[in-house]
Structure 1
Amino acid sequence: MNKKLLQDGKSQVKSRIAAMKSELINHRFLFLLLSVFLSTAGLKAQESIQVGSTARQMIVYAPTGIKQNRPLVISMHGMNQTMYDQKSQTQFQSVAQANNFVLVFPQSNGSQWQLWGTGDTDFILAIIDEMYKRYGIDRDRVYLSGFSMGGMMTYYAATMIADKIAAFAPVSGYLMSGPNANSSRPIPIIHVHGMDDGYVTYSNVQSHIDAWVARNGCPTPPVVTNPYPAVYTAKSIKKYYGHGKEGVEVVFIGVAGVGHWYSDNNWSADGVFTSQEIWNFCKKYSLKDGVPEFKYASVTDKNPKQIQVVLTKSVVASSFYTGFSVKIDGNAAFIDSVVVCDTNKVTVNLSQGILKENTVTLSYSNGNVVSTSLGKKMLNVTDKWVDNQLKGASPQIMEASTNVNGNALLMKFNKKMQIPADVSGVALNAQYNGPISIPVQQCSFFNNDSTTLSFSLGNQVYRDYTLSLAYSGSNILAADDGLLKAISNSPVTNYSNGLPVHVNSGRIGTDGITLSLDFSKAMALTSAQSGYFTLALNGKNVTSSGYSVINNTIQLTLSKCVHYGDSLKVSYTPKGIVAADNGLLDGFSN
């Protein structure tokens, strides 16, 4: 960014602090009321995360039982606000709950976001990494949003880390130094702004929208919906620009009757629920949109000199694709040609034939394969296994896993198998506070599927165990008599339920209505199950009116307030409450 523009922008931002403070203070009491209410109604946790040498703060929300490969939304607060304010005013948790995505509200250092350098963009990247470790989020579906100065930070991040964020959603904020659409790629943007905003003025938004429309190559003029939504009489307006380069869109929503504020689900006059609008727009986008990826490759008896490569997208036809390389038993093989076979398939023609004994791998690096839809380049891959389907070739294990009950080891193969009479060569190794013996017993086809062998286990395994597979290289044959090669310490995916979970302690919050129960594992809980706990206040049963789950802690909102000197006892008779790994909760009393 130009240094002078940066300095001008910083000075303009600071000049607005005094004006913005008065409006923010007027809303502070509302923020606090909302924060108290929501703190007892959602899944949340204030946490620290290390970014370089600095400990940064954030609130994390993840719906109970969320699966892997779900999106992440990061929502940033305004100047002189906090992550609690942003959580309260956006009402984003209800959207995350309904649509099953992870939500993070980060906290700035001090009162402002850093619209220069990499201090806060590094924070955003650290959040993405942490949520991937914790929840296995889909890193290609990360969406960034922010209100006021958080919106400014959203625009700044678009110029810095566009390769990490799939879509951007600024609200009531733009760069004070002027439009800057210098991103590494075309990016989808939705901007929502109050039409009566006198602090970050509404009249200046269009110049920023125009810059991104030009950068993205979106068609003009826009498609205008006025009023928006069409069923409302308010004068909110939506401008739609799309599709541009790589299929991206730009949307600008001006909200009637709203000043420097976030239009929420209770704003009935305009009909615009900003968080829902953001999700509806962002959810369409992934960093992998239109990108061809390697999916599968095989060689068959039909032509041992040909490798058929299947891709995830249709690709532009070429007389000779570049970028491919092949290894046979670790040695480079000479490629005669690579040509299109079908819309999403290419054929690699080799000078030499592949034998049943061979192990074959395929790589692709910076070639000329591009998608037909958006013209995006194929992702590079290195040493991808080629399925050797020649008669008598060694079978390959596609996945080794346990069943949910933990009493069977399943092996999924790339071809039809024989049932081995002798399973002594198969060993399942388990670790949990030391090694555990897991005898492998007889074998059968799983659900009559001859490509999957099921080995019954002498002892039950649990999700808490770390499992690996070893095989001596004898007795397991494919239907075409290909012998499975020896295996040493290959990881096994553990789908079994966890060990039982137990309660550790309980405590009442300073508000007198929040009961926190701490357990030995991360927990999962449904609304119906929150009533399975028996609560006795001074000997009389009371109920809970809400709940939340924060890692190992279940918080219950009591229907009556607990005062100093009161006696509160909690009991639970096993009724199916489980940990996040499906381990059953043990009963407890008093």
Structure 2
Amino acid sequence: MRRAAISMIVAAAIVTSAIAGAPANQPVPAPGNHNESIVVGTGANKLTRTFVVHVPPGFDGKSKIPLVIMLHGAGGSGAGAIAETGWDAKSDREGFIAVFPDGTPPHPDMPAQFLFNPRLWNDGSGSGTIGVEHVDDLGFISAMIDLLEARYSADPARIYCTGFSNGASMAFSVGLNLSDRIAAIAPVAGPFWYREKQFAYPVPLLFIVGTGDPFNPIDGGNVKLQWEKIKSRPPVEDSLKEWERMLGCGPEMETARGNGVLEITYDHCIKGGEVEYYRVQGLGHVWPGGKSRLPEKYVGKPSDNLNATNVIWEFFKAHPRTPIATPAAKND
């Protein structure tokens, strides 16, 4: 066991050294989009994972800057999420790195297709997403963060994750399972599948959903999706209550923002962090204030009454990670 442990440490050191050494051999990335890839997994589960990194103007490769991870919905892609959400333009205005990873299709050796071979996330739903239950998306995102910290000067104290639909559920999973690395999360229109879990470190949550979303009914219920075995969605409140429980939050405070937008905040959380919830009247399964690539008759109506990208960024800015206390060494 000791030899195995030493081998694992050495292997991890080699990988870390390779990533950490990358900046010395490469020029400072120019502003704009960069296509990156990384190999994750071993044996039959080894996959080349891809992602788009958007660099803002003025990036010098030295100053630590925030990182926003945007996870696309089922059938989408990292590149598609750029056009749908506008996170690239927000990155340029605010000066943070935005990254758009690609999920894995059930048949990774075949071209991805929206209906018949969609890119998906292993989001913690168990028997949910067909064909990707074996994919280590958490390992991929963690390795991607390593690369972005080393090559793109991502600030370890300001790493954030948002996502839409299946990507929203994956953002929940990232917040729970990588809580030692993530400062805050903001899922949009996707449920939290885990139950009876605990954080390693508290992670603030902002959640957005529309009252007209056919795939995430406010009160829960059955939905029809081609690529899932699970057909039932829990009520939206269930996801919020589970996160509130993990943070130890107190009573809610409700605020009507106008234009059919309701804001509910839980900010008295004894374990740290807070929960914010935005409910947009009439909004379908569409990124609020963004562009939908699917027909309205399938996903419901869009809405500009709330710009999710703007609201989420303000939430992220207000929630950098607090330093993790290191336990004092005990005297022998």
- TM-score above 0.5, yes or no: yes
What SS does the corresponding residue of 1:139 show, helix, strand or coil?
strand
Question: Is the 1:179–1:207 Cα contact (8 Å) retained in structure 2?
Answer: no
What SS does the corresponding residue of 2:288 show, helix, strand or coil?
coil
In structure 2, relative to structure 1, the CA distance for the partners of 1:115 and 1:269 (3 Å cut) is closer
Query: 1:86-120, CA deviations, whole angstroms, 9 ceiling, x for partnerless residues?
Result: 11111111211111110000001112111356710
Question: Is the 2:179–2:201 Cα contact (8 Å) retained in structure 1?
Answer: yes
Question: Is the 1:186–1:245 Cα contact (8 Å) retained in structure 2?
Answer: no
Q: Does 1:48 align with 2:37?
A: yes
Q: Does 1:225 align with 2:255?
A: yes
Alignment-derived partner of residue 84 in structure 1: 79
Letter in 2 for 1:224: E
Give the paired residue count.
Answer: 249
Q: Does 1:282 align with 2:290?
A: no
> 1:209 Cα deviation (Å)?
0.5
Q: 1: CA distance between counterparts of 2:171 and 2:268? A: 21
Q: Does 1:115 align with 2:123?
A: yes
> 1:164 Cα deviation (Å)?
1.1
Alignment-derived partner of residue 99 in structure 1: 94
Q: Does 1:214 align with 2:258?
A: no
Q: Does 1:164 align with 2:181?
A: yes
RMSD across aligned C-alpha pairs, in angstroms? 2.5
Q: Does 1:128 align with 2:145?
A: yes
Residue in structure 1 matching 2:172, options 143, 155, 172: 155
> 1:139 Cα deviation (Å)?
0.9
What does 1:447-458 correspond to in 2, within 5 Å?
Answer: none
Residue segments in structure 2 that go unaligned for 5+ positions in a row: 1-30, 106-118, 125-133, 220-234, 292-300
Q: Does 1:238 align with 2:238?
A: no
Q: 1: CA distance between counterparts of 2:143 and 2:281? A: 37
What SS does the corresponding residue of 2:243 show, helix, strand or coil?
helix
> 1:47 Cα deviation (Å)?
2.5
Question: Percent of aligned pairs with the same residue?
Answer: 27
Alignment-derived partner of residue 66 in structure 1: 59
Alignment-derived partner of residue 182 in structure 1: 198
In structure 2, relative to structure 1, the CA distance for the partners of 1:119 and 1:210 (3 Å cut) is same
> 1:73 Cα deviation (Å)?
0.6
Q: Does 1:247 align with 2:272?
A: yes
In structure 2, relative to structure 1, the CA distance for the partners of 1:145 and 1:269 (3 Å cut) is closer
What SS does the corresponding residue of 2:309 show, helix, strand or coil?
helix
> 1:64 Cα deviation (Å)?
2.1
Question: Is the 2:33–2:52 Cα contact (8 Å) retained in structure 1?
Answer: yes
In structure 2, relative to structure 1, the CA distance for the partners of 1:225 and 1:270 (3 Å cut) is farther
Query: 1:429-478, CA deviations, whole angstroms, 9 ceiling, x for partnerless residues?
Result: xxxxxxxxxxxxxxxxxxxxxxxxxxxxxxxxxxxxxxxxxxxxxxxxxx
Question: Is the 2:202–2:273 Cα contact (8 Å) retained in structure 1?
Answer: yes
In structure 2, relative to structure 1, the CA distance for the partners of 1:98 and 1:214 (3 Å cut) is same
Alignment-derived partner of residue 419 in structure 1: none
Q: 1: CA distance between counterparts of 2:85 and 2:290? A: 9
Q: 2: CA distance between counterparts of 1:274 and 1:248? A: 20
> 1:262 Cα deviation (Å)?
0.4
Letter in 1 for 2:49: R
Q: Does 1:199 align with 2:218?
A: no
Question: Is the 1:159–1:180 Cα contact (8 Å) retained in structure 2?
Answer: no
What SS does the corresponding residue of 1:164 show, helix, strand or coil?
coil
In structure 2, relative to structure 1, the CA distance for the partners of 1:199 and 1:269 (3 Å cut) is closer
Question: Is the 1:236–1:270 Cα contact (8 Å) retained in structure 2?
Answer: no
Question: Is the 2:161–2:175 Cα contact (8 Å) retained in structure 1?
Answer: no
> 1:163 Cα deviation (Å)?
0.8
Alignment-derived partner of residue 394 in structure 1: none
In structure 2, relative to structure 1, the CA distance for the partners of 1:126 and 1:173 (3 Å cut) is same
> 1:46 Cα deviation (Å)?
2.5
Relative contact order, CA 8 A, sep 6+: which one is greater? Answer: 2
What SS does the corresponding residue of 1:49 show, helix, strand or coil?
strand
> 1:54 Cα deviation (Å)?
1.9
Q: 2: CA distance between counterparts of 1:48 and 1:190? A: 29
Question: Is the 2:71–2:100 Cα contact (8 Å) retained in structure 1?
Answer: yes
Q: 2: CA distance between counterparts of 1:282 and 1:146? A: 14
Q: 2: CA distance between counterparts of 1:45 and 1:123? A: 18
Q: 2: CA distance between counterparts of 1:190 and 1:43? A: 28
> 1:65 Cα deviation (Å)?
2.2
What SS does the corresponding residue of 1:159 show, helix, strand or coil?
helix
> 1:183 Cα deviation (Å)?
2.4
> 1:292 Cα deviation (Å)?
6.3
Structure with the bigger percentage of helix: 2
In structure 2, relative to structure 1, the CA distance for the partners of 1:366 and 1:281 (3 Å cut) is farther
In structure 2, relative to structure 1, the CA distance for the partners of 1:184 and 1:172 (3 Å cut) is same
Q: 1: CA distance between counterparts of 2:242 and 2:325? A: 29
Q: TM-score, normalised by structure 2?
A: 0.69
What SS does the corresponding residue of 1:45 show, helix, strand or coil?
strand
Letter in 1 for 2:308: T
> 1:180 Cα deviation (Å)?
5.3
In structure 2, relative to structure 1, the CA distance for the partners of 1:132 and 1:106 (3 Å cut) is same
Q: 2: CA distance between counterparts of 1:216 and 1:98? A: 32
Letter in 1 for 2:155: D
Question: Is the 1:179–1:208 Cα contact (8 Å) retained in structure 2?
Answer: no
> 1:178 Cα deviation (Å)?
6.0
Structure with the bigger percentage of strand: 1
Letter in 2 for 1:112: L
What SS does the corresponding residue of 1:152 show, helix, strand or coil?
helix
Query: 1:406-446, CA deviations, whole angstroms, 9 ceiling, x for partnerless residues?
Result: xxxxxxxxxxxxxxxxxxxxxxxxxxxxxxxxxxxxxxxxx
What SS does the corresponding residue of 1:138 show, helix, strand or coil?
strand
> 1:246 Cα deviation (Å)?
4.6
Question: Is the 1:235–1:270 Cα contact (8 Å) retained in structure 2?
Answer: no
Q: TM-score, normalised by structure 1?
A: 0.40
What does 1:428-577 correspond to in 2, within 5 Å?
Answer: none
Letter in 2 for 1:155: F
Alignment-derived partner of residue 346 in structure 1: none
> 1:85 Cα deviation (Å)?
1.9
What SS does the corresponding residue of 2:33 show, helix, strand or coil?
coil
Q: 2: CA distance between counterparts of 1:56 and 1:178? A: 25
Q: 1: CA distance between counterparts of 2:185 and 2:87? A: 15
Residue segments in structure 1 that go unaligned for 5+ positions in a row: 1-41, 294-321, 324-364, 368-590
